[in-house]
């Protein structure tokens, strides 16, 4: 039986995917759930498993090609007797199966990570609008979302042309310009230069960063925090914690817990801006920047405000591990409301991170360093001690968060860390 391999819908906001590379060739035997190709979306790169055991008989979409979700990209023959055929014979057999012929061998239409695609099937589109949509490559998902100015919300020629203009303007503003490498080689020849084209995720990240800077006026404030008690406490329970939970205790859960509790008090720091409307959220989806093999990525821990310390620590461990193993799905990295980035892991003591749009703020963590600090008691007496210190930075959107609110929020995070309730960890 011929099984269709289909470009999967990896999330509600994903409408197309690019095939990075095929890991199997035509004629290869494959096991069910064995990774057969890597795809890239505008959110994340993913490894795609085979939906069935059998032989890869035909590849319809080649590497570096982008196609809409739901597109048939390959076929797998589940009749294992086909394994005796050579690769050439398998290709010939696959070619003999006319994919447009309803009388050919029965097929199973298996969607990887299936999601319901909701279209307005009853919405009327004029032949002119349909022609323009087809010519310009506007998929049905996108067409259904265009606001119509005609009667009964009908999309007019003006509506679709206006959509195309906005899409074109956005592409000109934020897209990375494609360059002919062969021409550049004349200007920067080897061996003194090495040219490498940006991969899909690098391009999307670059565009996202440019969009953020051009959207939000960034303001960064810095404070230093005494982590001495947290450092001592963590070292004292490392083995006990891992034995109890099955995972290691890092510093990140302490920062996450302190930030979440501060955001409950300063809700505007957890908000976003749409036009002139501030959108306050009654939930905290915490984004954690992770240095993954294919670049920086920000998976999200949802409803962080509802989690106790151990479950929050477990969720952070899970998304971080899956990010580094390239096991995230696009839905794992969307709808964040506030982010934390730990550039201190590489030894940097201070930084000014860029806001992860459409969020309003991001917390940056420097490296923990021992420094001599002047401490004063209630009587005003000073003493010098070696303390474990860290610089925290809070970068925020100055359109909706002023310096007073930003400063108070960072001060609250500092207080939460320096007065951490360790009973939360021991529960």
Catalytic residue annotation: 398, 402
Q: Are 365 and 341 in contact (CB under 8 A)?
A: yes
Alpha-carbon Rg for the chain, nearest whole angstrom, is 26
Please, what is the Cα angle at 222 between 340 and 392, to 5 degrees?
35
């Amino acid at each position: 039986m011929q099984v269709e391999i289909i470009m999967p819908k990896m999330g509600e906001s994903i409408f197309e995917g690019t095939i990075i590379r095929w890991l199997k060739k035509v004629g290869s035997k494959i096991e069910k759930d064995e990774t057969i190709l890597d795809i890239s979306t505008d959110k994340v790169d993913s490894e795609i498993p085979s939906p069935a055991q059998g032989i890869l008989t035909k590849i319809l979409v080649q590497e570096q090609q982008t196609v809409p979700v739901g597109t048939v990209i390959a076929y797998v023959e589940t009749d294992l007797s086909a394994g005796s055929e050579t690769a050439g014979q398998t290709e010939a057999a696959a070619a003999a199966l006319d994919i447009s012929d309803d009388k050919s061998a029965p097929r199973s239409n298996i969607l990887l990570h299936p999601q319901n695609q909701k279209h307005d099937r009853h919405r009327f589109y004029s032949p002119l609008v349909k022609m323009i949509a087809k010519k310009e490559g506007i998929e049905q998902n996108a067409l259904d979302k265009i606001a119509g100015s005609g009667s009964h919300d009908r999309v007019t020629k003006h509506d679709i042309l206006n959509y195309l203009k906005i899409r074109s303007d956005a592409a000109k503003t934020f897209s990375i310009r494609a360059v002919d490498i062969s021409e550049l080689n004349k200007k920067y020849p080897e061996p003194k230069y090495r040219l490498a084209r940006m991969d899909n995720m690098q391009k999307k990240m670059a565009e996202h960063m440019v969009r953020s800077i051009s959207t939000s006026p960034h303001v960064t404030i810095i404070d230093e925090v005494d982590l001495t008690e947290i450092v001592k406490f963590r070292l004292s329970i490392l083995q006990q914690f891992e034995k109890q939970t099955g995972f290691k205790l890092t510093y990140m859960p302490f920062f996450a817990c302190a930030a979440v509790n501060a955001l409950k008090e300063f809700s505007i720091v957890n908000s976003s801006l749409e036009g002139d409307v501030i959108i306050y959220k009654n939930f905290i989806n915490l984004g954690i920047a992770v240095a993954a093999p294919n670049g920086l990525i920000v998976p999200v821990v949802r409803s962080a405000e509802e989690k106790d310390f151990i479950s929050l620590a477990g969720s952070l461990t899970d998304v971080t591990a899956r990010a580094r193993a390239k096991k995230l799905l696009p839905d794992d990295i969307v709808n964040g409301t506030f982010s934390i980035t730990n550039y201190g892991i590489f030894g940097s003591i201070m930084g000014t991170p860029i806001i992860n749009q459409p969020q309003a703020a991001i917390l940056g963590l420097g490296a923990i360093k021992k420094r001599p600090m002047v401490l004063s008691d209630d009587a005003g007496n000073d003493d010098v001690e070696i303390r474990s210190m860290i610089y925290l930075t809070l970068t925020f959107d100055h359109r909706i968060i002023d310096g007073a609110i930003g400063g108070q929020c960072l001060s609250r995070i500092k207080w939460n860390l320096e007065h951490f309730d360790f009973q939360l960890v021991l529960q």
